[in-house]
Structure 1
Amino acid sequence: MNFIVSSSVLSGKLAEMSKVMNPKVVDPVLGYFLFRIKGEKLQITASDGDCTQCSTVDVVSTSEDGELCMPSTLLLNAMKNIPEQPLTFIVNPDNYSVVVKYNNGKFDFQGRSSEDYIVNTEIKGDFNESIIGSNILSMAISQTSFAVATDDLRPIMCGIYFTVTDGKFQVAASDGHKLARNTYPMDANTESAGDMSLIIPMKPAKLIKGLSTGEQQVRMLYNEREATFIFENDALHFRLLEGRFPNYNAVIPKNNDKVAVIDRSALLAAIKRVGVFSSLASGCIVMRFSGLQVTVSGEDIDFSTSAEEIILCTYNGTDITIGFKREYLRQILETFTSEEVRISMSDKSRAALFTPVTDEKEIDNLSLLMPMMVDD
């Protein structure tokens, strides 16, 4: 099992696939990459036990088909500073030793039998299939992931909820304080076998976003317990979060009658500046809407610091003073790409809605944020 492969191509692919693996592994074999030569292709597998990525790399030449486990950390560190050039891998099938030769040197290490590498790489049993564009998939994860919970006491909310209903692809996440719900059209290149409902853990969601490049079509194979996302040269298999995701549509208010339209960049910049002077403990930003302006302020009583800025806006409704956690505000505003943002409120103790002001009718972005209690 000898083969020649580009150093930069292999190094880049291994660095990408190392994100699947855990630094501390329960099973030592999960600290290895599985290399499999099949025809003119090098198939590489990396896994943490729950999430497995399989990728294909072109090779310059091969001697024969075969497979071997190679230590991930050692191989990554060894290839880190090798410039672009062909690498020749010479594998001894009798003792699993590997010699890697390049232009002006070589290094060798000990591999491991592939028989020890037992991971799930595909769905077992029946499954459904949907197809979606990688650009929509990447956008959906980017605009939703900030709202995912990190509290292990509520594991069902530690993921992104994917649904297909009535011909629309909807993605949602919530941690109880903030909610993101984004809806995208099912275009001509997007297909679904019917309604879909998946709760994808955050780790595979990030990996899916990294693999969703270009204009490729992504096949999603799934059942109640597991899913496989198939890209042009990669496949990601992982376990789903099992359970019932909360009915997030039920908590979205329908009668927020106080509406402000503000320049998104100006508001974001003001929050970042004023936030320096707000309380480190609470991180509260106070917004006072009145007439054609909003006053953004922050205060830290413990250190006797405060700041405020006035931003012009379009506002309809009675005067209102409402407080938000500055980090949550920043995250919501940074996910939008529109020039202006619409904020809908009812009173200082009820959820506010944030939506981008845009002519885009096919995509519906909505974020909900619970306020913090402040004095009028």
Structure 2
Amino acid sequence: MKLVQGLGRFSVSGVEREDYPHEDLMKEGDKKFSITVKDMKRMLDKTGYSISADVARIALSGLLVKFTSNSAIAVATDGHRLTMLKKEIEIQNGETDDVEILIPAKTVGYLGKMLGEGDGVVEITVGVGTVRFAVGSYILTSKLITERYPNFEQVIPKDNTKTLIAERKSFFAAAKRAAVMSNPLTHLIKMDIEENKVELSSSDYDVGGEAFEKVIVEYTEEPMKIGFNSTYLLEILRHLDSEEVKFLMKNTLSSALIMPLPQEEGEEYLSILMPLRLPEEEG
């Protein structure tokens, strides 16, 4: 193909139309059902950011979605954080029969763009190792990840009893300011929690900088300190829609549960964030 524009000329090589792969990956008898575009888009948006970028960890490089007769669960993790959205949905034009698929990260990105912000329904066809999404005149067919996904339910903390509640926007803004001076390698932000207040701090001794921010919160348990990767913490807070955020913690070295307050009707949305070891703990 040749392109000419003004004084410029361009040549682009191609292949014959007949040589383009056209094999239909889907087969007769594959499971087919539909859900609303809005529900599918929300599951992708609220969990997809936690998919692992490490291609060597194949099972974690995708989004796990499990469908039942009236609900869906979307889960993503990179080993440092985990996000899960369990949502009541209406299955249309078919039966899911407990379908479970592990969608590659690249497919998740393409699907999110294809869904856009529109209404309507997305038709999902699930075959052996393959999946197809159809929205209007658009069709996306993809291989699925066949590696076994870790049992995510086992890592959800059951005994985190220390509850901290904060106004989400003000906490996010304070954490964002405090993270400016965090170490560029660890991105450590420290939470020094006392009754009804928390001090957020970070430091980078290489450049001799420190940052401190105090936030009023609801907290009546014994004082504690805990550190997080500020990039992960801010990303979790950014994906919440609620007015408040609730932290459920156990101790300095145990993972924390982070969730919106209140939850959206018909949803259970949570994130698990592993802590970073504080310098004073290492000593």
Q: TM-score, normalised by structure 1?
A: 0.69
Map 1:249-328; keep pairs closer than 5 Å.
249-328=153-232
Structure 2 gaps of 5+ residues are: none
Seen in structure 2, the aligned counterparts of structure 1 residues 191 and 362 have a Cα distance that, compared at 3 Å, is: farther
What whole-Å deviation, never above 9, does each CA across 1:121-148 have from its counterpart, x for those lacking one? 4413531112111111111111111211
What secondary structure, in the 3-state scheme, does the structure 2 residue paired with 1:194 have? coil
Identity of matched residues, %: 27
Superposed displacement of residue 191, structure 1: 5.2
**Letter matched to residue 139 of structure 1:** R
Q: In 1, Cα distance between the equivalents of 2:201 and 2:40?
A: 37
Contact 2:86 2:268 in 1 (8 A): yes
Work out the CA distance in 1 between the residues paired with 2:115 and 2:123: 11
Asked if the contact 2:81–2:271 (Cα under 8 Å) also holds between the matched residues in 1, the reply is yes
Q: Deviations over 1:253-305 (max 9, x none)?
A: 11101100111111111121111111112110001111111110001122211
The 1:364/1:190 distance shift into structure 2, 3 A limit, reads: farther
1:129 aligns with 2:15: no
Q: Name the amino acid aligned to 1:200.
A: I
State the shift of 1:111 in Å: 6.6
Q: Distance in 2 between matches of 1:108 and 1:320?
A: 65
**In the alignment, structure 1 residue 120 sits paired with structure 2 residue 6:** no
Using the TM superposition, give the Cα deviation of residue 334 of structure 1 relative to its aligned residue in structure 2, in angstroms: 0.8
Q: Which has the larger radius of gyration?
A: 1
Write out per-residue CA displacement over residues 180-218 of structure 1, whole angstroms, 9 at most, x where no aligned residue.
010111236585331010000011111111111311111
Aligned residues: 275
Could you tell me how far apart the structure 1 residues matched to 2:101 and 2:132 are?
12
Who is 1:58 aligned against? Answer: none
What amino acid does structure 1 have at the position aligned with 2:19? D
Do the aligned partners of residues 282 and 266 (structure 1) sit closer, same or farther apart at CA in structure 2, a change above 3 Å counting? Answer: same
Q: Quick one: structure 1 residues 359 and 205, their matched pair in 2 at CA, closer, same or farther if it must change by over 3 Å?
A: closer
Contact 2:164 2:217 in 1 (8 A): yes
Change (3 A) 1:173 1:297: same
Aligned-pair distance for 1:316? 3.2
Paired position in structure 1 for 2:83: 180
Counterpart position of 1:159: 62
Greater RCO, CA 8 A, separation 6+ = 2
Give the one of 232, 240, 246 matched to 1:336: 240
Structure-2 change in CA distance of 1:360 and 1:110 (3 Å):
closer
1:52 corresponds to which residue?
Answer: none
CA distance change for structure 1 residues 207 and 318 in 2, over 3 Å: closer, same or farther?
same
Which residue does 1:140 correspond to in 2?
A: 43
Find the aligned partners of 1:118 and 1:223 in 2 and give their Cα distance.
19
Q: CA RMSD in A?
A: 2.2
How big is the shift at 1:167? 2.5
Whether the 8 Å contact between 1:120 and 1:237 is mirrored in structure 2 is: no
- 1:8 alignment counterpart: none
* Runs ≥4 residues deviating over 4 A: 107-112, 188-191
Q: Distance in 2 between matches of 1:306 and 1:246?
A: 38
Query: Aligned AA for 1:327?
Result: T
TM-score (norm 2): 0.91
Indicate which of 265, 277, 283 corresponds to 1:373: 277
Q: Which residue type is aligned with residue 228 of structure 2?
A: F
Could you tell me which amino acid in structure 1 is paired with residue 111 of structure 2? I
Unaligned runs of 5+ in 1: 1-70, 79-106
The answer for the alignment partner of 2:140 in structure 1 is 236
Residue aligned with 1:272, SS: helix
Q: SS of 1:276's equivalent?
A: helix
Q: Deviations along 1:205-264, whole A, 9 cap, x unmatched?
A: 111111113111111101231011011110000100002111001110111011001111
1:123 maps to amino acid: M
Q: Using the alignment, how far apart are the partners of 1:112 and 1:156 within structure 2?
A: 34
Equivalent runs, 1:71-110 vs 2, <5 Å: none
* Residue aligning to 1:170: 73
In the alignment, is the contact (CA less than 8 A) between 1:143 and 1:335 conserved in 2?
Answer: yes
Change (3 A) 1:263 1:125: same
Distance 1:109 1:288 in 2: 60
